[in-house]
Amino acid sequence: MHAYPHGHLFYRNLTRPFPEIVSGEGCWLTDADGKRYLDAVGGAFVASLGHGNAEIAEAVAAQARRIAYVNGTAFTTAAAEELADELAATLPGDLDHLYFLSSGSEAVEAALKLARQYWVERGRPAKHRIIALTPAYHGNTLLALSASARRHYQQLFGDWLVDVIRVPVPGFRCPCGGTDVSCPTCTGTALEAAILEAGADTVAAFLAEPVGGSSTGAAVPPPEYFRTVREICDRHEVLFIADEVLCGAGRTGTWWAIEPYGVTPDLMTIGKGIAAGYAPLSGIAAPRRIVDVLAAGTGSLVHAQTFSFHPVACAAGLAVVRYVKAHRLVERCAEQGRVFQSKLAGLRGLPHVAAVRGRGLLAGVEFAEDARTGAPLPRALKFAETFTAQALAAGLVVWPNVGHADGMNGDLVMLAPPFIVSTQEIDEIVARFGTALERTLSSLAVPVP
């Protein structure tokens, strides 16, 4: 175990010890003491192919041997070109041009800047405002953080953030339960009201995750939601940006989580699973109708980063995308996702489990004081954090989230196993989840209803 202040790292958490992972194979990790962990969330929705995939590792090494780095302002590489070709073939509608970066935050940041630059170059400089869903997370750099409805992340930095207009996430903790055909939140008409209130001439973009990430425990918007969003955005000339950093790249059983809605966003952000953790890689997908405006105007996106189009990262992404296609892993996510969701549904009977949501191999399990009403547990208990520590002790890696109920309260954990997860491993996830919950309830002395 390692812990601050021993050694020279200051860790993500300065008050707890960190096991040192020495190897990984498939869905399993092994630490320096030989303890094994079932990685039920691919680290952070990233390790979609599992750990220790020799084919991807070899592709990364081969690219590093050939050429590890050139700058994207001077050169291009076959890795970046071919990755863009492979992804374009999977992307919906006219989204067929890619701009590669390293992290999801950078992709969101750059996509919002692209939206802004597009409107300026089209002679509409007043269009600068951003509308985003709440709750939501889009990253930690300052513009992406501004777009994230995460009060506990924003509090310290409020003076540095820009004002982003919020509309509620559809079908998530809505009193109508996502079924009222006149509910403004769940039908999407709340977006139109927000655009009209701000003045359509001032709104540049609407940013939303097609399937929610950790902020909503994988909430799936109603089937008509994004069709209505598309119509509203078209009517008011607002760019619709789909943030698929977490939910994209096959995890929900389609290449892109927006696909079942049958609409094409104007821009899409991608990340996490596209290189499956073999390198940090993210990107923006854009159509020619948007990029052409820049090409005919200033000639470039005003967003330069040293590691954009990084050859080794692109080679990792290329190998991953080809592997996913060759092994039909998106189809497997859909099939094994049905098994996963139906087995997880059984968790609903456990004490303090208020909801299990998700699609494909992406799921969220929400805890509450009262599972029937969803009334949150007292935040002081740190339920999600304690559960996550107990899960780790039981050899299960999950991802906690807090604050979804009202900005500060609310406890949930996310599950997103590698696409290669077996049915037996899904059973093991469910069993270890139950163990972790039992231990959490007894360690916090939470009464079992």
Ligand X SMILES: Cc1ncc(COP(=O)(O)O)c(C=O)c1O
Binding mask 76-95 for ligand X (x = CB under 6 A): --------------------
Phi and psi, residue 175, nearest 5°: -55, -25
Cβ at position 124, least distance to ligand X in Å: 26
Work out how close the CB of 138 gets to ligand X at its nearest, in angstroms, rounded to a whole number: 5
Cα–Cα distance, 447 to 449 (Å, whole number) = 6
Cβ 372 to ligand X shortest distance, Å: 29
What residues from 181 to 220 belong to the interface with ligand X (CB under 6 A)?
209, 213
Query: Per residue in 259-268, is it b (16+ CB within 10 Å) or e — as a string?
Result: bbbebbbbbb
- Closest approach, Cβ 102 to ligand X, in A, equals 8
| DSSP 8-state secondary structure symbol assigned to residue 163 | P
Tell me the closest approach of the beta carbon of residue 339 to ligand X, in angstroms.
24
Alpha-carbon gap, residue 174 to 117, rounded angstroms: 35
266 lies in the binding site for ligand X (CB under 6 A): no
Residue 77 vs 105, nearer CB to ligand X:
105
Residue whose C-beta lies closest to ligand X = 104
C-alpha 270/C-alpha 162 separation (Å) is 23
Rounded Cα gap, residues 168 and 433, in angstroms: 30
Non-local (6+) Cβ contacts of 35 within 8 A are: 19, 395
d(CA 228, CA 116): 23
**Cβ at position 235, least distance to ligand X in Å:** 26
- For residues 44 and 198, which CB has a smaller minimum distance to ligand X in the complex? 44
Among the residue ranges 78-86, 104-112, 162-170, 395-403, the one whose residues contact ligand X (CB under 6 A): 104-112
103 touching ligand X, by CB under 6 A: yes
Single out the residue of 84, 98, 108, 145 in contact with ligand X (rule: CB under 6 A): 108
Instruction: Give, as ranges, the residues between 121 and 160 that touch ligand X (CB under 6 A).
Output: 137-139
The whole-angstrom separation of Cα 321 and Cα 10 is 34
Among positions 409-428, residues that touch ligand X (CB under 6 A) are none
| Window 215 to 254, contacts with ligand X (CB under 6 A) | 243, 245-246
Q: How far is the CB of 407 from ligand X (least distance, A)?
A: 18
Tell me how crowded residue 427 is: count the other CB atoms within 10 A of its CB. Answer: 12
| 3 state SS for 307-327 | CCCCHHHHHHHHHHHHHHHHC
Residue 427 to residue 17: CA distance in whole angstroms: 28
For the bound state, the minimum distance from the C-beta of residue 247 to ligand X, rounded and expressed in Å, comes to: 7
Size of residue set near ligand X by CB under 6 A? 13
Residue 399 sits in the site that holds ligand X (CB under 6 A): no
Binding ligand X (rule: CB under 6 A), the pick from 222, 253, 271, 410 is 271
Helices (H) and strands (E) in the chain, counts: 14, 15
Residues contributing to the site for ligand X (CB under 6 A)? 103-105, 108, 137-139, 209, 213, 243, 245-246, 271
